[in-house]
């Protein structure tokens, strides 16, 4: 099994999905974006990242820059939102269910890095993922790409949010596998994003679509594994 579409919990999940989407709508208005955050190679939409990474000129692991105190407040608001918190918790627990050895390894790496560098800030204390990205729409459509800096044997978690008809748009395309997958709001797909080319088709003009992406940087794992 190399790709998993996680189902949605039955209890009160519609409320969690709508509450999370509304939090992203508010964040889109409050976040101050730099030009490279608004025109990413993955698609023409604003994106806000938070987490712990290594590479890109860094000499040791560090937190992803958030540019301003205003943006830091936006992130704090998102991560303290009860709907976002429940959604992120569900994603982490589902990863542990579907790939327990991978979850154990990622948690070991992140715990070890944070013990070595106690000044680092995790986006969620209990998560095995090091990085989180909010793609803020309003109609997120990604280009065909791979995330080549992620660990190649790991799973990137992509959660779709918004108000759209998943039978008419928002499908995930896994080009390397020849698959087109319905991707409803509130569901999460786990894919090896470093090695499988992927993108998604647009939603309708009167709809909106956001996504939350979580991943583990490959360089961070190498830093830890090599001691």
Structural domain includes residue 139: yes
pLDDT value at position 44? 74
36 confidence band (pLDDT: 50, 70, 90): low
Q: Which domain holds residue 135?
A: 4-30+48-53+68-226
User: What is the domain-level CATH number for residue 101?
Assistant: 3.60.130.30
Model pTM?
0.94
Structural domain includes residue 117: yes
pLDDT tens-digit profile of 124-134?
998 999 999 99
Q: How many domains does the structure of the chain reveal?
A: 1
pLDDT value at position 40? 59
pLDDT value at position 57? 86
> Percent of the chain having pLDDT more than 70?
96
Structural domain includes residue 93: yes
Decide if pLDDT at 212 tops 80: yes
Query: Average pLDDT in the 70-81 region?
Result: 91
- How far is Cα 150 from Cα 153, in angstroms, rounded to an integer? 9
Structural domain includes residue 122: yes
Structural domain includes residue 41: no
Q: In sequence order, what DSSP letters do the residues of the chain get, joined into one string?
A: ---EEE---SSSHHHHHHHHHHHHHHHHHHPPPPHHHHSBTTBSS-EEEEEEE--TT-SS-EEPP--SHHHHHHHHHHHT-HHHHHHHHHHHHHHHHH-HHHHHHHHHHHHHHHHH-TT---SSTT-S-SEEEEE--SB--PPSB--TTB-TTS-EEEEEEEE--TTTS--EEEGGGTEEE---TT-EEEE-TTTS-EEE----TT-EEEEEEEE-BHHHHHHHHT-
> Percent of the chain having pLDDT more than 90?
80
Structural domain includes residue 42: no
pLDDT value at position 9? 85
35 confidence band (pLDDT: 50, 70, 90): low
Structural domain includes residue 221: yes
Structural domain includes residue 60: no
Decide if pLDDT at 41 tops 70: no
Decide if pLDDT at 116 tops 90: yes
């Amino acid at each position: 099994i190399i790709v998993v579409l996680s189902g949605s919990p039955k209890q009160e999940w519609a409320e969690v999905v709508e509450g999370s989407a509304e939090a992203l709508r508010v964040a889109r208005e409050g976040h101050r974006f730099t030009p490279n955050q608004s025109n990413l190679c993955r698609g023409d939409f604003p994106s806000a990242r938070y987490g712990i990474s290594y590479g890109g000129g860094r000499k040791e692991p560090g937190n992803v820059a958030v540019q301003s105190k205003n943006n830091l407040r936006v992130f704090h608001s998102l991560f303290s939102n009860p709907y976002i918190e429940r959604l992120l918790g569900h994603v982490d627990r589902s990863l542990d269910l579907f790939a327990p050895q991978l979850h154990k390894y990622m948690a070991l790496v992140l715990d070890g890095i944070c013990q070595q560098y106690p000044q680092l800030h995790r986006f969620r204390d209990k998560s095995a993922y090091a990085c989180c990205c909010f793609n803020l729409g309003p109609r997120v459509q990604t280009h065909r790409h791979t995330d080549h800096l992620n660990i190649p044997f790991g799973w990137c978690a992509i959660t779709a949010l918004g108000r759209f008809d998943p039978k008419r748009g928002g499908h995930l395309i896994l080009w390397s596998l020849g698959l087109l997958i319905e991707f409803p709001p509130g569901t999460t797909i786990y894919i090896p994003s470093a090695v499988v080319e992927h993108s998604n088709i647009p939603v309708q003009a009167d709809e909106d679509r956001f996504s939350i992406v979580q991943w583990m940087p490959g360089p961070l794992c190498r830093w830890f594994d090599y001691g």
